[in-house]
Copies of this chain bind each other. A is one copy, B any other.
Amino acid sequence: MGDLDRFFSPASVAVIGASHGTEKIGGRALRTLLKHGYRGRVYPINPNHSEVAGLKSFKSISEVPDAVDLAIIAIPAALVPDVVDDCADAGVKAAVILSSGFAETGAAGAELEERLRTTCQRTGIRLSGPNAEGFFNVGGCTAATFNGSIDPDSGDTSSAAQIAVVSQSGGLAFAFFNKGRRDDLIFSHVVSVGNQADLETADYVAHLIEQDAIRVVLMYVESFRNPSRFLTAARRAADLGKPIVMARIGNSAAGSRAARSHTGAMASPKAVVDAVMDAAGIVQADDHDELLNIAGAFLGNPLPQGKRVGIVSISGGTAAWLADACSAGGLEVPELDAATQARIARCIPPYGTSNNPVDVTAQADGYLEPLEIVGKAKNIDAVILAANFAGDRRLVREGQAIADWVRRVGKPVLIYSYASPGEKSRQLMRELGLHCFTSLQGCVRSLRSLVQYAEYQRTRGERQAPGRRREDVPEAAARLLADPRKTLCEYEAKLLLAAYGVPIPEEALARGVEEAVAHAERLGFPVALKVQSPDIPHKTEARAVQLHLSSAAGVREAYAIVIENAKRYARNADIHGV
Residues of A within 8 A of B (CB): 25, 100-102, 104-105, 109, 131, 133, 147-149, 151, 167-172, 174-175, 178-179, 182, 220, 222, 247, 249-254, 256-257, 259-260, 286-290, 314-321, 323-325, 327, 332-335, 349-351, 353, 355-357, 359, 361-363, 388, 390-391, 393, 418-420, 438-442
Q: Does the CB pair A172–B287 fall under 8 Å?
A: no
Q: Does the CB pair B388–A175 fall under 8 Å?
A: yes
Q: Does the CB pair B287–A390 fall under 8 Å?
A: no
User: How far apart sit A438 and B439, CA to CA, in the bound complex (Å)?
Assistant: 13
Please name the 6 residue pairs, one residue from A and one from B, whose CB atoms are nearest each other, closest first: A169-B317, A171-B315, A149-B390, A149-B419, A178-B419, A175-B419
User: Can you report 21 A-B residue pairs in the complex whose CB atoms are below 8 A from each other?
Assistant: A100-B363, A101-B351, A147-B362, A148-B390, A149-B390, A149-B391, A171-B418, A172-B317, A175-B315, A175-B390, A178-B390, A220-B317, A222-B317, A247-B321, A249-B317, A252-B320, A253-B323, A256-B320, A257-B334, A287-B442, A290-B441
Q: Does the CB pair B327–A287 fall under 8 Å?
A: no
User: How far apart sit A134 and B334, CA to CA, in the bound complex (Å)?
Assistant: 32
User: How far apart sit A439 and B335, CA to CA, in the bound complex (Å)?
Assistant: 35
Q: Does the CB pair B169–A253 fall under 8 Å?
A: no
Cβ-closest chain B residue relative to A321: B249
User: How far apart sit A257 and B357, CA to CA, in the bound complex (Å)?
Assistant: 10
User: How far apart sit A323 and B317, CA to CA, in the bound complex (Å)?
Assistant: 35
Name A148's contact: one of B355, B361, B388 (CB within 8 Å).
Answer: B388
> Within the complex, what minimum Cβ distance (angstroms) separates A169 from chain B?
2
Q: Does the CB pair B317–A253 fall under 8 Å?
A: no
User: How far apart sit A455 and B545, CA to CA, in the bound complex (Å)?
Assistant: 38
Q: Which residues of B contact A222 (CB under 8 A)?
A: 317, 320
Q: Does the CB pair B289–A174 fall under 8 Å?
A: no
Q: Which residues of B contact A100 (CB under 8 A)?
A: 349, 351, 361, 363
Q: Which residues of B contact A419 (CB under 8 A)?
A: 149, 174-175, 178-179
- Count identical subunits in the complex: 2
With contacts A222-B317, A317-B168, A318-B169 taken as known, whether A256 is within 8 angstroms of B101 at the C-beta atoms is no
Q: Which residues of B contact A174 (CB under 8 A)?
A: 419
> Within the complex, what minimum Cβ distance (angstroms) separates A72 from chain B?
16
Q: Which residues of B contact A355 (CB under 8 A)?
A: 253-254
User: How far apart sit A354 and B185, CA to CA, in the bound complex (Å)?
Assistant: 36
Q: Does the CB pair B441–A287 fall under 8 Å?
A: yes
Q: Does the CB pair B317–A439 fall under 8 Å?
A: no
Name A105's contact: one of B170, B252, B327, B350 (CB within 8 Å).
Answer: B350
Q: Which residues of B contact A318 (CB under 8 A)?
A: 169, 171-172, 175
Name A351's contact: one of B131, B171, B178, B357 (CB within 8 Å).
Answer: B131
Q: Which residues of B contact A259 (CB under 8 A)?
A: 327
Cβ-closest chain B residue relative to A387: B171
Q: Which residues of B contact A388 (CB under 8 A)?
A: 148-149, 171, 175
User: How far apart sit A149 and B438, CA to CA, in the bound complex (Å)?
Assistant: 14
Q: Does the CB pair B439–A287 fall under 8 Å?
A: yes
Q: Does the CB pair B25–A148 fall under 8 Å?
A: no
Q: Which residues of B contact A247 (CB under 8 A)?
A: 321
Cβ-closest chain B residue relative to A168: B317
With contacts A286-B441, A315-B172, A323-B256 taken as known, whether A104 is within 8 angstroms of B149 at the C-beta atoms is no
Q: Does the CB pair B257–A350 fall under 8 Å?
A: no
Cβ-closest chain B residue relative to A252: B320
Q: Does the CB pair B316–A169 fall under 8 Å?
A: yes
With contacts A288-B439, A441-B287 taken as known, whether A170 is within 8 angstroms of B257 at the C-beta atoms is no
Q: Does the CB pair A148–B393 fall under 8 Å?
A: yes
User: How far apart sit A412 and B289, CA to CA, in the bound complex (Å)?
Assistant: 24
User: How far apart sit A131 and B352, CA to CA, in the bound complex (Å)?
Assistant: 11
Q: Which residues of B contact A316 (CB under 8 A)?
A: 169, 171
Name A253's contact: one of B287, B353, B439 (CB within 8 Å).
Answer: B353
Q: Which residues of B contact A362 (CB under 8 A)?
A: 133, 147, 170-171
User: How far apart sit A362 and B134, CA to CA, in the bound complex (Å)?
Assistant: 13
User: How far apart sit A323 and B333, CA to CA, in the bound complex (Å)?
Assistant: 36
Q: Which residues of B contact A169 (CB under 8 A)?
A: 315-318
User: How far apart sit A441 and B109, CA to CA, in the bound complex (Å)?
Assistant: 33
Q: Which residues of B contact A175 (CB under 8 A)?
A: 315, 318, 388, 390, 418-419
> Within the complex, what minimum Cβ distance (angstroms) separates A129 from chain B?
13
Q: Does the CB pair A249–B333 fall under 8 Å?
A: no
Cβ-closest chain B residue relative to A220: B317
Q: Does the CB pair B317–A167 fall under 8 Å?
A: yes
Q: Which residues of B contact A420 (CB under 8 A)?
A: 178-179, 182
Q: Which residues of B contact A325 (CB under 8 A)?
A: 286
User: How far apart sit A353 and B252, CA to CA, in the bound complex (Å)?
Assistant: 12
Most B CB contacts (10 A, CB to CB) among A147, A171, A182, A288 go to A171
